[in-house]
Structure 1
Amino acid sequence: MTTTIFFLVLAVYVIAGGIVARFVKSKADFYVMGEKGTTILIVGTLAATYLSAVTLLGISGQSYAEGPLVIAALGSFGAWIGTLLAVIYIGRKMRAFGCHTMPDFFEMRFKNKTVSIIALIIMIIGLLGYGVIQLIGAGLVLSEVTGISFPIMIVLFTLALLVFCALGGMYGVVITDTLMLFTMLAISCIIAPFLIGQAGFDNMKALGESIPFYWTIGGAEQRPLGWSISQFLVWVLFFSCTPALVSRVFPAKNDFVILKAAVIGVFLAPFMQIIVFLAAGSMQIHQPGIENTDNVMVIGFIEHVPPLLGGIGLAGLMASIMSTASTLFVLAGFALARDLYEHLNNKKMDEKQSLRVGRYAQVLVAALVCVIAIIQPSAIYWISIYAGAIFGVGWLPTVVGGLEWKRMNSRAAIGSMTIGTLTFILVDELARREIITLPEQIDSLMIAFSIGVVTLVVIGFCTRPNDYELSFFKKMKQTSFADTTISEFLAKEDGLARLKKQYRQTMAISIAFIFIAAIIWGYFFLMLGF
């Protein structure tokens, strides 16, 4: 049944990707879905990034071993703050300036090839490193479960990704992400609650007696509060500037779609993760003593839920891999085709040529990823250590400085991105090799981020922006996010009434999800005795 469901779900995604590809007629369709994304589609592609293979494997394993609150208490809520910043602040602003990719912002803001190249290098390393390591880890688990050899599993994933990445571009990713979200929601809404219910809240509460400190923020390892706070900050920094989230705003139909997607997305970020972490904790009741904790949820899917739910759970794991991988790889392809080949080389191409280059870049990225994943080189694990954090230290100070500071210029951007990224790698390597010892409450990402910010401010005060940088900053400050949306609505028949209706809908959704969140988290607080 597991293998059958696996192939059925894979077939659904491939067929959907093939159908969606027929709607791609221009490079605007390919890169930003022609800005036709509705609320459900933007929520779908946004939320599909939350339940990654890292969540279902590594962090769930930590929740099983140390306690669900170690990451859930502050880390997941750092994720929703980061998501809010990514969508409402950074993504919404970049979309208002006409960006189709995040590197567009660096090019528009500074008009400096060195800045653009450094930003592209950070993006490609970060996306490929994080994506490939997910593919390798989850591919190993699923190949063991399904009986399909690891190389064949990776090739299947790659071919499926090619269908909706190379042919459909952002159109394909958004549509298939939304389909995948329903499979992933089955884990958070049905399978994880089933595991929690079978274990029983009383038995789960009693784990604090057999495993001391299991239901504390410090967990069974008694991590200091400072460590938990550092994880909160790390998740905020990582989520707020990762292209996987920010780029989700660019296909949105209008500003109301962005606001509604942000409200729902802020709710789904902790919801989709924390329920899984609690279910991982419940596995201490179902099957204590699991040594390879990364497989905790997979064991739960196979051995502790009905076969149909188990098959859906594994399909959800597969969907989480494909959703994250497709997003990361399509953005890497965009960086190669649009930002590097077309823009930096000043290539003048018509619509068909641009589409062709974009698709060739997707094929190149897919082939590269497939080969790296099959070879499983140790170097990719080294890269993956930095992939998740590199956007927080390499991009975030420059992006915020570029958006808000009049003195921001290309030299400050180059210094901040370079020194911040290199500092993170250096400090992390020294700590990993035990040459230096960091306090538990201070993460290497926080150190690098602080140094990146200081570097930016010092260089910014010691240098001056050029005329172009000053004029673009002035243009940014005069740009209103909502002007385009308001103009579009007012141009229609009964435009004012439609505009008011959208405002009421957005407010109603906000209030409704605050109410839903209060009920859900209140229920778990009461049942677990917090």
Structure 2
Amino acid sequence: YVGRKLKALNCQTMPDFFEKRFQNKWVSVIAIVIMIIGLLGYGVIQLIGAGLVLSEIINIPFPMLIMLFTAALLVFCALGGMYGVVFTDTLMFFTMLGIAAIIAPMIIGQAGLTNIKELAETIPYYWTIGGTEQRPIGWSISQFLVWILFFTCTPALVSRVFPAKNDFVVLKSAVIGVFFAPFMQLLVFLAASAMQVLQPGIEPADRVMVVGFMDYVPNFLGGVGLAGLMASIMSTASTLFVLTGFALARDLIEHLGNKQLSEEKGMIIGRLSQVVVGVIVCVIAIAQPSSIYWISVYSGAIFAVGWLPTVVASLEWRRMNSKAAIGSMLAGVVSFVGTDEMAKRGFITLPENIDSLMIGCLTGVIVLVIIALLTKPNEHELEYFNQIKSTTLSKKTIEYILAEPNGVIKLKKQYKQTMVIALSFIVISFFLWGFFFIRLGL
């Protein structure tokens, strides 16, 4: 949704969109600061993950491993850039696919689906929506909202659309991605449940799959599994380092200084920014303030409450303007962080089924609507909104293909290929998820 629209508008980064849409210094600066905070959080969990994996293999203290991995990442980003990121992304996909399709089923097979299903008998409420801690339904809804709202506007995913050749490539990859994401996740999660059968009580829980790779599959496959984890960590962490350095150099410093940096100077500042970010992330990762999952939730929520209401309103509402954008982003983030911290420290008690993400997101939307209704967009904002509505990636794709020799035939072929891929994965999904539904009976 977001990536296709931004690609049609020829945006190179998500901060580019905020700049083009509003041409307001403070909108751009606030948006970039939110992005950097969110990406820093994700950088922290990648380093913690790397430390946990490596500490199982190498007899080196956790803090030293974090520092060594940070140094390796900085060298990788400096030498490889986005080309290196794309390369490791490719390796990551195939190694993670190997984990899901070969290694995870081996661990599941050793435990047995029947024993996995019966975990609820030894761990009460294991297979319920509320989980073993019997969290309220509002918590599950909040988790759903965190990820769907975060994925909609996170730069690490939205920017993946930008290099696509045309809209058909985006649609085909989306269909395939929508299948493989839950496919890989479900099998890995079931393998983690299998480890509860094979070796219960592993602490911290972040080590579960590492232990599984080390102790419950042949050495070669265990090595592939660990390589997959490291490729995943390297891919995501390098993406975040590159994006953060680029944002600091190209977007934040240029906007604050009101000056255009040369390519060479921008590159130097970008490299220095990556070093600064690396040091900050390294220090936080060594402190290990929380588990990987909870840090990722917090980082994702920052994007969800800070960016998404502004992005959607900017694309869809004529009255949207810079004042509403500033108010919404600040209100969303401040209300989320403030509510979450006060609830954790016992200053307030949130109603059942309501959490800080819902409050932050709702606050951001309400503030946006009120300010937008009380103010008016300027001439540039109205003109750019009209440009958004008249520019679509699908229209550009159709016009481009029809302009080629035998364009109509090529266009029909693309439609047919996209439809065949979509229907094929629907059929595959029906049988795959049906199998697990029947065997687990949940």
TM-score, length-scaled by structure 1: 0.78
Cα shift at 1:483: 3.0
The answer on 1:481 being equivalent to 2:393 is: yes
The Cα shift of 1:490 comes to 2.8
Give the structure 1 partner of residue 21 of structure 2. Answer: 109
1:386 maps to 2:290: no
User: Is the contact between residue 164 and residue 173 of structure 1 (CA under 8 Å) also seen in structure 2?
Assistant: no
Correspondence 1:330 to 2:242: yes
CA distance in 2 between counterparts of 1:335 and 1:167 reads 18
**Alignment partner, residue 221 of structure 1:** 133
Contact 2:328 2:368 in 1 (8 A): yes
**Residue 210 of structure 1: how far off its partner (Å):** 2.7
Q: Which amino acid aligns with 1:107?
A: E
1:25 alignment partner in structure 2:
none
Q: Which of 317, 320, 329 is residue 229 of structure 2 equivalent to?
A: 317
Pairing 1:427-442 to 2, within 5 Å after superposition: 427-442=339-354
Preserved CA contact (<8 Å) 2:88 2:231 = no
1:385–1:480 Cα change, 3 Å: closer
1:146 corresponding residue in structure 2: 58
Structure 1 residues 322-370: Cα deviation after superposition (integer angstroms, max 9, x where no partner): 1221121111112112212345545445555555554454455445544
Residue 176 of structure 2 is aligned to residue 282 of structure 1:
no
Q: What is the rounded CA distance, in whole Å, between the counterparts of 1:252 and 1:511 in structure 2? A: 22
Identity of aligned residues (%): 66
In the TM superposition, what whole-angstrom CA distance separates every residue of 1:376-415 from its partner, at most 9, and x where no partner exists?
Answer: 3859999877322100000000000101010000000010
Cα pair distance change 1:275/1:343, threshold 3 Å: same
Partner Cα distance (1:186, 1:146) in 2:
24
Q: 1:236 to 1:109 in 2, by over 3 A?
A: same
In the other structure, the counterpart of 2:183 is 271
Query: Which residue pairs with 1:189 in the alignment?
Result: 101
Counterpart of 1:157 (choices 61, 66, 69) is: 69
- 2:81 match: 169
Task: Say if 1:349 and 1:223 are closer, same or farther in 2 by CA, change over 3 A.
Answer: closer
Equivalence for 1:100: 12
Q: Distance in 1 between matches of 2:271 and 2:416?
A: 41
Q: Which moved more, 1:401-410 or 1:476-485?
A: 476-485
Native 8 Å contact 2:42 2:299 kept in 1: yes
1:156, CA displacement in angstroms?
Answer: 4.2
> 303-312 or 485-494, which moves further after superposition?
485-494
Evaluate the alpha carbon distance shift between residue 137 and residue 168 of structure 1 in structure 2; reply closer, same or farther with a 3 A threshold.
Answer: closer
Q: Which runs of 5+ in 1 are unaligned?
A: 1-88
1:292 corresponds, among 204, 225, 230, to 204
Give me the whole-angstrom Cα distance separating, in 2, the residues matched to 1:383 and 1:519. Answer: 35
Q: Distance in 1 between matches of 2:10 and 2:76?
A: 25
> In 1, distance between residues paired with 2:335 and 2:318?
26
> What CA deviation, in whole Å up to 9, does each residue of 1:188-240 have, x standing for no partner?
11111111111111222222323333222222333333332232222212221
2:417 equivalent to 1:505: yes
In structure 2, C-alpha distance between the alignment counterparts of 1:195 and 1:377, rounded to whole Å? 29
The alignment status of 1:411 with 2:331, answered yes or no, reads no
Q: Once the 2 structures are TM-superposed, how far is the Cα of residue 140 of structure 1 from its aligned partner?
A: 3.8
CA distance in structure 2 between the aligned counterparts of 1:171 and 1:501, rounded to whole angstroms: 31
2: distance between equivalents of 1:290 and 1:150? 18
Q: Tell me if the contact between 2:89 and 2:232 (Cα under 8 Å) persists in the aligned partners.
A: no
Call closer, same or farther: CA 1:351–1:226 in 2, change over 3 Å: closer
Aligned residues: 441
For the aligned residue pairs, the C-alpha RMSD in angstroms reads 2.5
Indicate if the aligned counterparts of 1:115 and 1:413 stay in contact, CA closer than 8 A: yes
Deviation track 1:281-322 (CA, whole Å, cap 9, x = no partner) reads 111221123343222112211122222222222222212211
Change (3 A) 1:310 1:97: same
CA shift in 2, pair 1:405/1:264, >3 Å = same
Query: Match for residue 134 of structure 1?
Result: 46
**CA separation of 1:338 and 1:276: change in aligned 2, threshold 3 A:** same
How far apart are the structure 2 equivalents of 1:506 and 1:430? 49
Q: 1:227 to 1:343 in 2, by over 3 A?
A: closer
Report the CA distance shift for 1:390/1:263 in structure 2 as closer, same or farther (over 3 A).
same
Partners of 1:117 and 1:418 in 2: CA distance: 12
**Paired letter, 2:340:** D
Matched position secondary structure for 1:506: helix
Q: Residue 420 of structure 1 aligns with which residue? A: 332
What is the TM-score when the length of structure 2 is the normalising length?
A: 0.92
Bigger drift between 91-100 and 211-220 goes to: 211-220
Task: State whether structure 2 residue 402 is matched by structure 1 residue 490.
Answer: yes
Q: Which residue of 1 aligns with 2:376?
A: 464
Correspondence list, 1:353-364, <5 A = 354-355=266-267, 357-364=269-276
User: Aligned ranges for residues 6-21 of structure 1 at < 5 Å?
Assistant: none
